[in-house]
Chains A and B, each alone.
Chain A
Amino acid sequence: MGSKKLGMWLFIVSDTLTFSALLIVYSYSRLTNPDWPRPFPIYPAIAFSTTMTVVLLASSLTMVMAVMAAQRNDRKKTVMWMVATMIGGLLFTGLHLTEWMNMIFKEGFTITGNPEGTPLFGAVFFGITGLHMTHVMIGVIYLGIVAVGFGRGKFSAEDVEVNGLYWHFVDLVWMFVFPLIYLMSVKY
């Protein structure tokens, strides 16, 4: 195994612990606050976040295709699949920002307060989803750099694979954020 891949795995383990700590803080805050808001109705909020989840999952599949193409040394297809992954990442970020804007400007949820319950909700919700969104945006930039480098023959297939590990990790974190933050806070 190459040192780059090992380094990325070590980063992933440390970042897993960061998100675990945040999700445990969320559970702790929620368990101890009886007026925790449940601001997400099935339609449109859950339908919207489900679409975001499917978009992120689709971008993971295109990343798998990019890694496979890179291992065949098919530069054109690798770049094509990586661009598709970037589009998925940008679409996810766009949808997420749309949801944030709706919550902030139409429903009055901010990082310090909201009309439905404990103000802690805003800090936890925007903190966790914001950190995840930051990871997605960094991932899109990372994909762009590796795609250009691989297309020009400066980066190897291992670089694409390591980039893939990061992208799948971002997807993996969302597989916990989506059910715990959104599906556990459905407004009936």
Chain B
Amino acid sequence: MSSDAHAAEAHGASVGTNITVWIGLVAITGLEVFLAYKELQPSVMLSILVVLSLVKAAMIMSYFMHLKYEKFSLVLWLVPAMIFCICMMFIFFFPEAFRLLQMRPH
């Protein structure tokens, strides 16, 4: 790609927005550690942590990796295929995992 073409594509959030996102990421990390300190039920803890991790991943992809500022066709090309593959892993994971969970000694 020529430098002119790249200059036309130069994009992304401002410094202030990126710093705000970074503070948000550190704050969510702090919240996660606080929850670990509170000794919650493992299932509740896992649910909250997965949601918070997905929020952090979305923040990193949108702002730091500029996905928010790319053409939407790129998002459509990458994200649904990735989610589909991960869902396929879970389809095989859950029935077997719960079957074995019931079989394990208590």
Interface pair B36/A183, CB less than 8 Å apart: yes
Chain A interface residue number, banded: 35 or more
Whether A24 sits at the interface, judged by CB under 8 Å, is yes
The residue in chain A whose Cβ has the minimal distance to the Cβ of B48 is A179
Chain A interface (Cβ < 8 Å from any Cβ of B) = 1-3, 9, 13, 16-17, 20-21, 24, 27-28, 31-34, 42, 46, 50, 53-54, 57-58, 60-61, 63-65, 67-68, 71, 156-158, 161, 164-165, 168-169, 171-172, 175-176, 178-180, 183-184, 186, 188
Min CB distance A81 to B, Å, is: 12
Query: For the complex, would chain A's binding face be called helix, strand, loop or mixed by DSSP majority?
Result: helix
| CB atoms of B26 and A156 under 8 A apart | no
Within 8 A of A (CB), among B41-67: 42, 45-46, 49-50, 52-53, 56-57, 60-61, 64-66
Asked if B60 and A31 make an inter-chain contact with CB atoms under 8 angstroms apart, the answer reads no
Instruction: Give the interface of B toward A (CB within 8 A).
Output: 1, 3, 6-7, 9-10, 12, 15, 18-19, 22, 25-26, 29, 32-33, 35-37, 39, 42, 45-46, 49-50, 52-53, 56-57, 60-61, 64-66, 70-71, 74, 78, 81-82, 85-86, 89-90, 93, 96-97, 100-101, 104-106
Query: Measured between C-beta atoms, what is the minimum distance from A38 to chain B in Å?
Result: 10
Chain B residues near A60: list those with CB within 8 A. Answer: 22, 60, 64
Residues in B with CB closer than 8 Å to A50 are 29, 33
Interface Cβ pair total, 8 Å cutoff:
127
Contact A157 B12 (CB under 8 A): no
- Docked Cα-Cα span, A57 to B30, in Å, equals 12
Question: Bound state CA distance, A165 and B49, in angstroms?
Answer: 24
Bound-complex Cα distance A63 to B22 (A): 12
Q: Tell me how far the C-beta of B10 lies from the nearest C-beta in chain A, rounded to whole angstroms.
A: 4
